[in-house]
Amino acid sequence: MKTVQNSLTTMTQMILPNDTNPLGNLLGGKLMHWIDIAAALSARKHSGKVCVTASVDEISFIEPIKLGDTVILQALVNRVFTTSLEIGVKVFREDPINDTRKHTASAYLTFVAIDNYGRPVKVAPIKTETEEEQRRYEEAEVRRRRRLETREHMESMRAQPLKSDSTSS
């Protein structure tokens, strides 16, 4: 059984002009792309399988990342379900001029491990070793329940016929 720390993946990026908006801040979509890659690498590291993004539960942008900053993304497996894994990603920015480091974003993503035919495969459980890892493990179950309830609600909404607007002529 692998530990949470075995899944730790760290990515580092330097923010260049092509990565920024007119304000000199990192584009949110670029950061989302990097978060997805870091999470996929963490999921693969734990499962030993190709893992595909199933959902992005939450991305919180806490403060902007500026041109010239260094971005560090740290991804860990929070919990393993049968064929899926929840990955938590924390994003930090380092200002090399002022020698500061700040937490700038967080995200939770779910990945599914697949075989060579694209079918989901079972993933080995993960072992928590610290109180923090256990807290994240338990919180992942809450997010999973919420995600499944939302999916069920959306499916029932899709099954209902569309109603016409009675106020239009």
Query: Which candidate, 80, 72, 73, places its Cα nearest to that of 48?
Result: 80
Q: What is the CATH classification number for the domain harbouring 17?
A: 3.10.129.10
**What's this model's pTM, rounded to 2 decimal places?**
0.89
Q: Is residue 168 part of a domain?
A: no
For the segment 44-52, the average pLDDT, to the nearest whole number, is 97
- Of 98, 96, 36, 91, the residue nearest 63 (C-alpha): 91
What are the start-end ranges of the H helices in 52-95? none
The C-alpha atoms of residue 13 and residue 163 are separated, in whole angstroms, by: 49
pLDDT at 161: 80
Are residues 108 and 88 in contact, defined by beta-carbon separation less than 8 angstroms?
yes
* Full residue range of the structural domain in which residue 68 is found: 2-157
**Alpha-carbon separation of residue 162 from 110, 134, 155 (angstroms):** 31, 44, 14
Pick from 86, 88, 67, 77: which is nearest to 13 by CA?
Answer: 67
Residue 166's pLDDT band (boundaries 50, 70, 90)? low
Q: Which two three-digit tokens encode residue 61?
A: 């942008």
Which segments of 37-99 are extended strands (E)? 50-61, 70-80, 84-95
Q: Is residue 164 part of a domain?
A: no
pLDDT score recorded for residue 167 = 57
* pLDDT tens per residue, range 78-109: 999 999 999 999 999 999 889 999 999 999 99
- Whether 11 is covered by a domain: the verdict is yes
How far, in Å, CA of 98 to CA of 41, rounded? 31
Whether pLDDT at 57 is above 60:
yes
**Residue 165 included in any domain:** no
Residue 11, pLDDT score: 98
- Distance CA(65)–CA(45), nearest Å, equals 28
Mean pLDDT of 154-158: 85
Average pLDDT over residues 24-51: 97
Whether residue 14 lies inside any domain: the answer is yes
Q: What is the pLDDT of residue 165?
A: 60
Asked if residue 169 has pLDDT above 70, the reply is: no
* Domain assignment of residue 167, yes or no: no
Q: Which two tokens stand for residue 102?
A: 């700040």
The answer to the question of residue 162 being in a domain is no
Domain count along the chain: 1
Mean pLDDT taken over the chain = 94
Q: Is residue 129 part of a domain?
A: yes
